[in-house]
């Protein structure tokens, strides 16, 4: 049976076709029947491509072909992925995707459409690349109340931070290297400013807590303002700076979700996740902490997750696998980040900065000053006690009358 169509023949699309064809025999055995990729839909031409004869430009051909059971949407972005996905589901075809933007924006709606048509919408590849996380969270840990999900969800920023930490490369240089190596895009905003990580933590939080978390409701800060001075202070105090997405339940059935750089203690395994790797901690009331680690992006790792989902759809023809969450109309479902407690690393500049210590201690109570080799007289860094973030900001506002606040980074 030629029952699979792949939408988008870019990096992930070509990886998906490559891996599927390579392991097709064993995949057919697992499904218990024959399977193959019939169409690859892309507007571009690919002369000389080994699968050239399967490449078509018109998606309607997929929709109208009853042999197609599963559509792998690996176009990315909202348009035309959203329309294509909806149309395929409504035609009774399952859809699998690596498209985190679409799942984060339209997941609740598309899952509902899938259920109504007794097909599946699966998105293992949308978070953590090839790392199994969606299915483990939805199935294996289903007996738990999820107390927190927290992790390194973006390989590009982790590569840049690793280079800053290990090789004392500054942010700009590390970013350019990431671009040269193909880890960062020409416009790196989505990665560097935390949009990508934000979409992923929204997907995980929606799944874990049953209500759609929209990315625009989640406070997000990126890594472009982090300097080698911050890295040195953190290192010296036993921390590594990592871009962390996290989500956990808050009072009254709400959730707290945030994406930001954090000082991660060296004792935490997340601190030793280097390069383009991702790692995600899930804490459950039964299981305690479990960690999932692997390559969070890339052609074949992402294809691995897409193909795994294709197989699951082919195995469960005409059975809905029951992944779902509800839409969320409550504007206050995600609590304001300023009301959440955190401990904060702060770096300030002022003439004879050490003379400010009594005033700082008076503001924050018991805090920890940290050092770095060659700290100049006009610089000071400290870690605040754990307090409501809005209160920390008020105190820093007061401090800003006598010093420049150069950096503030949350602790994990």
Token pair for residue 349?
């500049």
Measured CA to CA, the distance from residue 254 to residue 273 in angstroms comes to: 30
What single string gives the DSSP state of each residue in 265-302?
Answer: ETTSGGGG--TTEEEEEEEETTTEEEEEEEE-SSHHHH
Touching its own copies, residues 192-231 (CB under 8 A): 210
Degrees to nearest 5, angle at CA 49 with 308 and 13: 30
Output 153 or 303, the one with its CB closest to its own copies.
303
Residues in the chain: 412
Give 379's DSSP letter: E
Binding segment toward its own copies, per CB under 8 A, in 99-107, 246-254, 309-317, 346-354 = 309-317
Q: Is the peptide bond before 80 cis (omega within 30 degrees of 0)?
A: yes
Separation in Å, CA 401 to CA 176, 267, 372, 388, 405: 36, 36, 25, 21, 10
Binding segment toward its own copies, per CB under 8 A, in 24-32, 240-248, 347-355, 396-404 = 24-32
Measured CA to CA, the distance from residue 395 to residue 373 in angstroms comes to: 27
Residue 245 binds its own copies (CB under 8 A): no
Measured CA to CA, the distance from residue 140 to residue 133 in angstroms comes to: 10
Q: How far is the CB of 269 from its own copies (least distance, A)?
A: 7
Output 187 or 251, the one with its CB closest to its own copies.
251
**Known catalytic residue: 163?**
no
Output 92 or 132, the one with its CB closest to its own copies.
132
- The secondary structure element, H or E, covering residue 125 is none
Residue 237 binds its own copies (CB under 8 A): no
Output 29 or 404, the one with its CB closest to its own copies.
29
Residue 57 binds its own copies (CB under 8 A): no
Q: Which of 200, 295, 395, 408 is catalytic?
A: 200
Measured CA to CA, the distance from residue 221 to residue 42 in angstroms comes to: 35
Binding segment toward its own copies, per CB under 8 A, in 70-78, 127-135, 243-251, 394-402 = 127-135
Residue 27 binds its own copies (CB under 8 A): yes
Touching its own copies, residues 266-285 (CB under 8 A): 269, 272, 284-285
Q: How far is the CB of 286 from its own copies (least distance, A)?
A: 3
User: Active-site residue numbers?
Assistant: 200
Question: Which residues of this protein are in contact with its own copies, per CB under 8 A?
Answer: 15, 19-20, 22-23, 26-27, 29-30, 32, 124, 129-132, 135-136, 139-145, 210, 269, 272, 284-295, 298, 300-301, 303-308, 310-312, 315, 319, 322
């Amino acid at each position: 049976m030629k029952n699979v169509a792949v939408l988008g023949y870019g990096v992930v699309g070509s990886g998906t076709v490559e891996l599927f064809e390579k392991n097709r025999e064993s995949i057919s055995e697992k499904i218990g029947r024959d399977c193959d990729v019939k169409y690859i839909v892309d507007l571009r031409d690919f002369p000389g491509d080994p699968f050239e004869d399967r490449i078509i430009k018109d998606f309607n051909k997929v929709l109208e072909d009853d042999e197609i059971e599963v559509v792998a949407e690996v176009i990315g972005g909202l348009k035309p992925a959203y329309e294509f996905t909806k149309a395929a589901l409504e035609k009774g075809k399952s859809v699998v995707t690596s498209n985190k933007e679409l799942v984060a924006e339209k997941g609740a709606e598309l899952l509902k459409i899938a259920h109504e048509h007794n097909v599946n919408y699966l998105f293992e590849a949308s978070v953590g690349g090839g790392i199994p996380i969606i299915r483990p969270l939805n199935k294996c840990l289903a007996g738990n109340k999820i107390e927190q999900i927290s992790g390194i969800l973006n390989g590009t920023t982790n590569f840049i931070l690793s280079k800053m930490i290990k090789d004392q490369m500054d942010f700009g240089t590390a970013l350019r290297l990431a671009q040269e190596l193909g880890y960062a895009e020409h416009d790196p905003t989505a990665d560097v400013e935390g949009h990508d990580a934000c979409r992923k933590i929204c997907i995980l939080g929606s799944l874990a807590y049953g209500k759609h978390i929209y990315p625009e409701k989640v406070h997000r800060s990126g890594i472009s303002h982090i300097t080698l001075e911050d890295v040195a202070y953190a290192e010296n105090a036993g921390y590594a700076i990592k871009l962390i997405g996290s989500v956990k339940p808050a009072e009254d059935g709400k959730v707290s979700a945030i994406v930001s750089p954090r000082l991660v203690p060296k004792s935490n395994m997340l601190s030793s996740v280097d390069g383009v790797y991702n790692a995600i901690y899930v804490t459950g009331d039964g299981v305690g902490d479990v960690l999932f680690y692997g390559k969070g992006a890339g052609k074949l790792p992402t294809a691995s997750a897409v193909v795994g989902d294709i197989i699951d759809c082919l195995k469960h023809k005409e059975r809905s696998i029951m992944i779902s969450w509800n839409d969320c109309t409550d504007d206050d479902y995600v609590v304001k980040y300023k009301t959440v407690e955190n401990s904060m690393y702060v770096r300030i500049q002022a003439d004879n900065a050490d003379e400010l210590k009594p005033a700082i201690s008076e503001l924050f109570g018991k805090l920890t000053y940290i050092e770095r080799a060659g700290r100049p007289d006009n610089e000071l860094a400290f870690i605040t006690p754990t307090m409501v973030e809005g209160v920390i900001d008020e105190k820093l506002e007061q401090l800003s009358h006598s010093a420049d606040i150069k950096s503030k980074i949350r602790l994990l």
